[in-house]
Amino acid sequence: MSDVPQKVDITLLAQYVNKIQELSSTNKMMAPVYLQSMIMGQDCAANLLAKAMQQDSKAKSKVEHAEAIAYLERAKEYLDSKGIKDTSEARKQYVNIDEDVLVAKDNRAMTEALVALLKGKLSQLRQAHDDFKKIAYGDQNLTQYEGM
């Protein structure tokens, strides 16, 4: 397993998200095209989110693994070299400064950020789809006096 999270290509997702801005200047005749784009965008975002969540789970496991290795194997060497008494608390403190643990935590932070971004984009596409569908096809529920 590589220590670096996989790169995710979100250019296709960006194209769908950019279509949201076009919704304000479209008409009912183009509604099916835009609704289909929003559905395809949701599918794209959901697939990317699933992959990102998988990577986040792997990154979490790598953090836990790096912490265990640092605590059980590398802490003793470090503490002996610094002349610090080898205690459980000293080992816990070493884990926070271990280089491999810091790298693993940085990678985990990247995957968490990607998951949060993709959840937001998925929600944005869902809302755009629902709102545009209501505007294009929905009953306005207006009384005979409203809109005068």
CA distance 104 to 66: 7
**Are the beta carbons of 17 and 121 closer than 8 angstroms?**
yes
Look at residues 32, 38, 19, 53 and name the one whose alpha carbon lies nearest to residue 123.
Answer: 38
* pTM of the full structure: 0.81
- The model's pLDDT over 62-88, given as tens digits with 9 standing for 90+, comes to 999 999 999 999 999 999 999 999 999
Vertex 23 angle, CA 18 and 29, to 5°: 130
CA distance 53 to 133: 29
CA distance 122 to 127: 9
- The model's pLDDT over 90-119, given as tens digits with 9 standing for 90+, comes to 999 999 999 999 999 999 999 999 999 999
